[in-house]
A = this chain, B = another copy of it.
Amino acid sequence: MKLNQRGLLIVISGPSGVGKGTVRKALFEEQGHDFVYSISMTTRKPRVGEVDGIDYYFVSREEFEKRIKDDALLEYAEFVGHYYGTPKDKVERYLSEGKEVVLEIEVEGALQVREAMPDAVFLFIGPPSRRALYTRLLSRGSEDSSTLKQRMDKAEREFLLAHKYDYIIINDDVRNAADRIIAIIRAEHAKTERSIHGYLDMLEAEEKNGK
């Protein structure tokens, strides 16, 4: 019996290169869960093949800045001259429909979401070792050495922010990591602070029906 009808906001985060995207994809392959992926909003131009409302919501700089002013974003950041952010309204609607909303974001953004949505579930995806992460960043191969150095320095700082999260999950095996997230979601729904209202409603409904 599911006492908590509201969905959870699941924030998947961790150092660059740790495999957040792979873990998220594995999670969506799990059966019996109503997951929805929160689509980001950006001011950059669509690349060939990208579709508005599927890959991103593509908006103008003016519209994005209006949303910042209206506090209509859960988090946002600027990278190389473009804004990226998470629209609040869609997330809120999905949660009230009982869907589990998954955000896959950088550490900086995750800490902003913590402020806006303290009851979200914050997952730090960690590498099995520093070396594993560096090997992974190297193997991408598409970046020049100064970009790589920057990414490694960033990862080095992000390693140490694990304590800001609710849970730490080591991505030593993607299937394992996804299974662990499923366990966390089940546990979070059963948490007293989320389930006590459903429990008391259940007892009360019965009284009204004349037990």
**Known contacts being A130-B211, A183-B182, A211-B130, is A192 close to B172, with CB within 8 Å?**
no
A180, B169: Cβ atoms closer than 8 Å:
no
Closest to A186 in B: B183
**Known contacts being A1-B128, A130-B211, A131-B206, is A187 close to B183, with CB within 8 Å?**
yes
How many residues of chain A get a CB closer than 8 Å to chain B's CBs?
36
Q: What is the minimal beta-carbon distance from A207 to any residue of chain B, in angstroms? A: 8
A195, CB-defined interface residue at 8 Å: yes
Closest to A198 in B: B168
Main SS of chain A's interface residues? helix
B192, A168: Cβ atoms closer than 8 Å:
yes
**Known contacts being A182-B183, A184-B187, is A129 close to B202, with CB within 8 Å?**
yes
A55, CB-defined interface residue at 8 Å: no
User: Chain B residues with Cβ under 8 A from A186's Cβ?
Assistant: 180, 183-184, 187
Residues of A within 8 A of B (CB): 1, 3, 124, 126, 128-131, 159, 162-163, 165-170, 172, 180, 182-184, 186-188, 190-192, 195-196, 199, 202-203, 206-207, 211
